[in-house]
Structures are given as C-alpha cells and as structure tokens.
Structure 1
Amino acid sequence: MADECELFALCSDPREWVQDPGLRHTSPADTRAILGSWIDQWNRDKLGTWVVRRHTESVIVGFGGCSIRQHSFWNLGYRFLPSVRGLGYATEMSCAAVVAAACVRPDLPVVAYLRESNAASARVAEKAGLVLVGRFPVADDAHPGAVRLVYANRRLGDDELHAVLTA
C-alpha cells in the first residue's frame, strides 16, 4: 500500500469530483479501503484497477481500469490528475483495459457510464471502442436534471442494462 499517500492526494482533490462530489475521499482511511477493494478485485476477477504512472518517472498520475459490477458487466472507470488531462493517459489506459477485460471474461460487456456533461470522458469511451447505448435520467439532488450516458462494447440485453443503471 505504498501508493496510499499519492492516491489520497488525487482522491481527495475536489477538482476530481465535480461530477460526483460524494465520492471524494475525506480521510486516508477512504483511500486505504479503496486500495483494499482493488486488491480484492484482482484476486477475485483476475483484473481490476491499475495505478497509472508516467512512463519516465514513478509519480502516480491517475488510476483506472475495468472491474466487474453486479456480476453482469465490466465497468470502465478512471481518474487522472488535472495536470495530465488531454495527454492521452486515459485513452491509453482505457484501450488496454477494454482489451484485457475481453480476454479475461469475454462473456461480459464492457461499459462506461458517465454524466452527459463530461464530454472528455465520452470521447475517451469512444476512442476505446465503446458506442453510445443510451441517455438516462439520474436521480441526483446535487445536479438536478442530470443525464447519464451509457457506452458499451456491444448491445446490452435488458438485464445487463438494468444492472448498469442500478450499479
């Protein structure tokens, strides 16, 4: 858990959580818990969240990958430092994660769900080979009228879509 301090700095930065402020870490214990869940994902599913570093140094610039949700789909997600956004890290990581998920459990679709207002994440999902499945309302007091976009690497069945919308 040597990465805990750097990850806490990223996960507690309010700029990272504009879309979902309730997910911001408020103590190192939050980060410790998420690191533990990532280790559990890897042990259980043989794939999970990666810590992303610059190619030339050991500084953490973000994290992301695919994790199984609801036993029904791979969720593609990530967070990156504001200073490295737009440099291709999210796209590179997302493309690798989609390929890895298809190798580990090809029976599960790969899905990215995001706020409609997050155009950069939508572009990353598209570059990773996902296509827009639909637009859905979000029950959210912090962002009234918010819309969730669902992207997937294939057509979703009714049960799969229900699992995504209730995750």
Structure 2
Amino acid sequence: MHDEILTDRLILRRPTTADLDAIHRIYADPRVWEHYPTLRHSERAATERLIARWIRGWDAAGLASWIVSLRGTGEIVGNGGCVLIGDGDAAVWNLGYRISADHHGRGFATETSRIAVDAVRLLRPATPVVAFMVEHNRASAVVAEKVGLTLVHRGPDAGNPDPGVIRLVYSDRPLTDAQRATILG
C-alpha cells in the first residue's frame, strides 16, 4: 500500500514518531471529544501509545491510520484510515478518524474514509470494514453512511462510564458472531 496519497486537498501519509506533538494537540482538545470526553488524551504518553499502535498496524497489515495534512500548507489536521483488529476469521478493518475541531465540517473525514475503504478492499477484500461510534455522534454516523457502510448493531456501549450511551456499529457487509465479538469485545 502507498505510504503517501495525495488528494486535491489532503496528504495522507504513514505516521512517524515526529507526529506526536501535532496529534497530541488534536487528541488533547476537549472540542474533539465532545461525544466521548473520557477518551481525551490528557497525557502525552497516551498519544505516544496510539501512534506506536498505528505504526505497528502499518508494519503488520500494510495499512493503518494515516496522518492527514492539508495539501496547500502541510498543516496536520488529524488522522484517519482503517486499522486491522482481531485475528483470522474474526478480523475486521476498523474505519476511524479524528479531525481537529478547527477543521470539522469540511469533509476531510469523509474524503479520508473513502480512500481508506477503497484501500482495504484492494488489500484484503474478504475482511469487513466496520465503523463504530456512540449514537449521539451523528456526524460520524453520516461519514460511515457516505462511504457505503450500513447500521448492523445498536446497543449499550459496554465499558462507557455513562451507562445510558448507545453504541452503533456500521459495516460494509453482515458480520459473523466472531467479528461482532471482536468489535463489541
């Protein structure tokens, strides 16, 4: 898979440890975590672990989350892509993204997600693409729908500190029980 992809507006590239400061600023911003505030990164170590996980994903699967930058300026505005989770027949591509609050509403998550879904369908087409989010994050659900995923699960969000929160799972196809277990764990 290409380590860098150019669109009309964006540069999608493989992450490095040099991305820590820019990604941490985004992941530490409470505006980015409006729908799930307990996931905000208050410690740089959390962002270091996240970037390390993306790098391992690239090494293991040939694709994971990209760093998303503006093509015109090079400014890092977030990350996005598909990360392989689970093993064997239980594996799924998890579509995810996090765009800086200052750049919300510009279609960057959708643009990145379309490219990610196309990439995993070429790389490993037999593996489902899923996206999961909390129900009150309607913007994320709209992105999933725009890239061709449909709702396959709605239920309590296990482990969420707010027991009333509902988890949505979107997929590009029906999921096996093993794949559902990977996602809902």
- TM-score tier after normalising by the smaller chain length: over 0.9
Q: Secondary structure at the match of 2:94?
A: strand
Does residue 176 of structure 2 align to residue 157 of structure 1? yes
Percent same amino acid at aligned positions? 43
Q: 1:51 aligns with which of 67, 73, 89?
A: 67
Relative to the length of structure 2, the TM-score reads 0.85
Q: Which amino acid aligns with 2:128?
A: P
Q: Which residue matches 1:24?
A: 40
* Distance of 2:50 and 2:73 partners within structure 1: 24
2-structure distance, mates of 1:28, 1:137 = 30
* Aligned with residue 142 of structure 1, among 137, 161, 177: 161
**Counterparts in 2 of 1:105 and 1:96: CA distance versus 1, 3 Å:** same
Show structure 2 runs of 5+ residues with no match. Answer: 1-16
Question: Partner of 1:156: helix, strand, or coil?
Answer: coil
Deviations 1:43-71 (A, max 9, x none): 00000010001121111111011001122
CA contact (8 A) 1:51 1:64 kept: yes
CA–CA separation in structure 2 for the residues paired with 1:147 and 1:2: 36
Q: Which amino acid aligns with 1:82?
A: A
- Structure-2 separation of matches of 1:123 and 1:161: 21
The residue that corresponds to 1:13 in the other structure is 29
Amino acid at match of 1:93: T
Q: Which runs of 5+ in 1 are unaligned?
A: none
Of residues 103, 122, 127, the one that matches 1:103 is 122
- Which position in structure 1 is the counterpart of 2:20? 4
Higher RCO structure (Cα 8 Å, ≥6 apart): 2
Q: Give the whole-Å Cα distance in 2 for the aligned partners of 1:91 and 1:45.
A: 22
Contact 2:156–2:163 (Cα < 8 Å) also in 1: no
CA distance in 2, matches of 1:29, 1:15: 20
Deviations 1:9-60 (A, max 9, x none): 1111112223333322222222222111111110000000100011211111
TM-score w.r.t. length of structure 1: 0.93
Shift of 1:140: 4.5
Deviations 1:81-102 (A, max 9, x none): 1121111100000011111111
Give the secondary structure class of the aligned counterpart of 2:18: coil
Contact 1:140–1:146 (CA under 8 A) maintained in structure 2: no
